[in-house]
Chains A and B, each alone.
Chain A
């Protein structure tokens, strides 16, 4: 519908005629000018992916604007071992090209730091090459392939992870420090790489949504939505209006739960026991409300291609009463917290991201918005029932520090409650009580045989993107791009002037999940 190919196919190169496999030729021309021109014209660079095809490797750049997500594509002929890197001309491609290098073994030439990112793979291991049938049985990552160098007088490295202190996901932050400051930080995200992209291949449309929910568990609903939007776009179906409203309910409750989790982690970092307990309690109430609606505390099993699987088993009046109680309690506690000077001192000026960098990078979700850059998919490229709901004023903060990110989350929480009330009201109007008493169809027939489309949704962490292709009713390629993958790379840049004890605040203020990075 809105996804359109704006790029021209790559020119076939003379270098591909040779059969010398040890010295693979660089693709002579990749039309990056298309991508750069679009970005200069105001489109946001939303990602870069590759797909193994019989006719070579297809490189796809995703570009977002108000009309949707457009793609610019080029094919690298078989036997091409590399191509001129995009990163030197567009820094946001930094991690994307490293990911492609890990998964396909193709070298982006001129990339400033081509160390392994998601899969440190020895020379003996063939790349998994998503999109190609079959694939390697086992790849054991080899840590020795990772660079480990520190430069500068008196510098040493403090590794945080991969087994963290506390109940956290596995990631390793290598903090390079002369003692207190953090002049540089490296990240190793590969530890929990699960090979998700290959796992999608061969699945039916209805099984695919289950894996999408488990790609990034804390944003299960948003991933399921982005995946289903792609499938529905291929099938050309519209989701019934009540189903669209139910989707909004689950998506906004997911946002509330995640923002409360972030608030609790920030309080925990500051040692505020009562505040941590209070936000933990509120989050538990949200989880219980969601489980009462669908049986899962993370809203799993609700979103299916074509609509939702069932109506929430909660009467509308009960639901409204519960969210009113929640909002009152959260507003009160947030007010008290934001009046605690010793807490605010820890956040003010901590982990600053300049608005120039946020815009350049196209920073997603709360991280971008807190630095004055907002491209909320619910507003810019609305889906499901969002076009008929009032989102209210656009929330932005300009500080760019951990405090601005927390303030922005409070703004978003208010907005989420506003949306929850509106959606419940509209459900009552169309005769569909939340408990499904109205009995309208909740699911449009959504048969998919072949085709490809891009779907998106605004997760609590920012925009989630799915590029999905089917042949014969089975997935042949599925590329999820979480907000965490796009945003976490900015972590390199936000330690200016900060010290070791600021680290937990900065990490919590980003509010990202590692599962969505390593995939």
Chain B
């Protein structure tokens, strides 16, 4: 006990106070502004086909496919850069595409309102259940890290539970290995309403680098209805915490997704 006390408080106060490790975190690749008209060969930079060109010739980057390998940032620093900060998650799959697809704002507000209505009753006692649907094993360690004294999610009224019957939030990791789809669905069905699903990591969002494969479904969205999409390979503990608070509507008000970039 004394051994612990000697070192003072190591726990972060994020999100109430800024945390340098959170705000300095290197997130998925992003486009430098202004996002110009890209030549087609840029698509070849990405091993997971996250880079594309729209029909009107605009360069597009799907952060939901980004595995943070950095090939695009290293080879074309004039076009690509790293995003920073923990705010990588979005409430829609399309919300992970940059530059943001216009005309989704009204839709997004409705989604946010719907989520708020569902999570209002949870208040400060939220129970998480995690299911691994074919991860590489790293993202489990990042979720587990939320319990270490640095992040200590108990301070925010967030707890892990073994039983789906007691769970409010389902954290799903992995590319949707076909052997895990039925157990994943059974876990989801076993949870009482209201329930929230967070796809944690690029593998869960889009299948990542291990997809396409005969053994994966290219993400978990076909099996369970995803409410929050969190890219990252793996995402950082702050990123996971941000996604949870986003789902619960508990982020400080008015915080945009990528404040540094004004997106």
Residues in chain A within 8 A of chain B (CB atoms): 119, 128, 135-141, 162-163, 165-170, 190-196, 198-199, 203, 206-207, 210-211, 214-218, 220, 261, 274, 277-278, 280-281, 283-284, 287-288, 291, 295-298, 300-301, 309, 332-333, 336, 513-516, 518
Residue B17, interface by CB 8 Å = no
Interface bits B122-157 vs A (CB < 8 Å: 1, else 0): 000000001111111111111111011110000000
Residue B178, interface by CB 8 Å = yes
Residue B47, interface by CB 8 Å = yes
Contact A280 B133 (CB under 8 A): no
B174 to chain A, nearest CB (A): 7
Give bound CA distance, A174 to B219, whole Å.
28
Out of A137, A140, A217, A280, name the residue touching B234 (CB < 8 Å): A217
Interface bits B31-47 vs A (CB < 8 Å: 1, else 0): 00000000000000001
Contact B148 A300 (CB under 8 A): no
A278 proximity list for chain B (CB < 8 A): 3-4
Give bound CA distance, A194 to B203, whole Å.
11
Residue B21, interface by CB 8 Å = yes
A295 proximity list for chain B (CB < 8 A): 26, 68, 70, 82
Q: Can you report 18 residue pairs joining A to B where beta carbons are below 8 Å apart?
A: A139-B215, A167-B143, A170-B133, A190-B179, A192-B174, A193-B215, A194-B216, A195-B216, A199-B209, A199-B213, A214-B67, A216-B136, A218-B141, A278-B3, A280-B148, A295-B70, A298-B138, A515-B137
A200 to chain B, nearest CB (A): 10
Contact A137 B214 (CB under 8 A): yes
B174 proximity list for chain A (CB < 8 A): 170, 192
Contact A193 B177 (CB under 8 A): yes
Give bound CA distance, A296 to B26, whole Å.
8
Contact A194 B177 (CB under 8 A): yes
B131 proximity list for chain A (CB < 8 A): 163, 170
A275 to chain B, nearest CB (A): 9
A204 to chain B, nearest CB (A): 9
Out of B70, B144, B179, B183, name the residue touching A167 (CB < 8 Å): B144
Say what secondary structure dominates the interface of chain B.
mixed
Q: Which residue of B lies closest to A332 (CB)?
A: B3
7 nearest interchain CB pairs? A217-B138, A280-B148, A217-B136, A195-B215, A165-B162, A195-B213, A515-B137
Most chain B beta-carbon neighbours within 10 Å: one of A170, A283, A288, A291: A170
Q: Which residue of B lies closest to A215 (CB)?
A: B136
Contact A277 B213 (CB under 8 A): no
Residue B69, interface by CB 8 Å = yes
B133 proximity list for chain A (CB < 8 A): 170, 192
Contact A210 B179 (CB under 8 A): no
Give bound CA distance, A196 to B179, whole Å.
14
Residue B1, interface by CB 8 Å = yes
Residue B233, interface by CB 8 Å = yes
Out of A191, A214, A336, name the residue touching B233 (CB < 8 Å): A214
Give bound CA distance, A165 to B164, whole Å.
10
B230 to chain A, nearest CB (A): 15
Out of B10, B68, B135, name the residue touching A515 (CB < 8 Å): B135
Give bound CA distance, A281 to B174, whole Å.
26
Contact B47 A210 (CB under 8 A): yes
Residue B52, interface by CB 8 Å = no
A218 proximity list for chain B (CB < 8 A): 137-138, 141
Give bound CA distance, A97 to B91, whole Å.
45
Out of A141, A196, A220, A277, name the residue touching B210 (CB < 8 Å): A196
Give bound CA distance, A95 to B68, whole Å.
34
- Indicate whether A192 sits within 8 Å of B177 (C-beta atoms), given known contacts A137-B214, A139-B214: yes
Q: Which residue of B lies closest to A515 (CB)?
A: B137
Give bound CA distance, A485 to B177, whole Å.
18
Residue B231, interface by CB 8 Å = no
Residue B53, interface by CB 8 Å = no
Contact B139 A217 (CB under 8 A): yes
Interface bits B45-80 vs A (CB < 8 Å: 1, else 0): 001000000000000000000011111001000000
Residue B159, interface by CB 8 Å = no
Interface bits B174-186 vs A (CB < 8 Å: 1, else 0): 1101111001100
Out of B1, B137, B142, B149, name the residue touching A513 (CB < 8 Å): B137
A163 proximity list for chain B (CB < 8 A): 131, 164, 183-184, 187
- Indicate whether A280 sits within 8 Å of B145 (C-beta atoms), given known contacts A163-B131, A301-B68: yes
Give bound CA distance, A140 to B187, whole Å.
19
Q: Which residue of B lies closest to A219 (CB)?
A: B137
Contact B10 A281 (CB under 8 A): yes
Give bound CA distance, A196 to B142, whole Å.
22
Residue B95, interface by CB 8 Å = no
A310 to chain B, nearest CB (A): 9
Contact B148 A194 (CB under 8 A): no
Residue B208, interface by CB 8 Å = yes
- Indicate whether A191 sits within 8 Å of B179 (C-beta atoms), given known contacts A135-B214, A170-B131, A220-B138: yes
B160 proximity list for chain A (CB < 8 A): 166-167
Known: A190-B179, A274-B4, A513-B137. 12 other contacts (CB 8 A): A162-B180, A191-B179, A192-B134, A193-B134, A194-B216, A199-B209, A214-B203, A214-B208, A217-B136, A277-B4, A284-B148, A332-B3
Out of A136, A281, A514, name the residue touching B149 (CB < 8 Å): A281
B195 to chain A, nearest CB (A): 15
B70 proximity list for chain A (CB < 8 A): 295, 301, 309
Give bound CA distance, A336 to B67, whole Å.
40
Contact A170 B132 (CB under 8 A): yes
- Indicate whether A274 sits within 8 Å of B1 (C-beta atoms), given known contacts A167-B140, A194-B175, A298-B138: yes
B138 proximity list for chain A (CB < 8 A): 217-218, 220, 298
Contact A274 B3 (CB under 8 A): yes
Contact A300 B233 (CB under 8 A): yes
Contact A280 B147 (CB under 8 A): yes
Give bound CA distance, A287 to B142, whole Å.
10
B206 proximity list for chain A (CB < 8 A): none
Contact A297 B3 (CB under 8 A): no
Contact B175 A170 (CB under 8 A): no
Contact B178 A210 (CB under 8 A): no
B141 proximity list for chain A (CB < 8 A): 217-218, 261
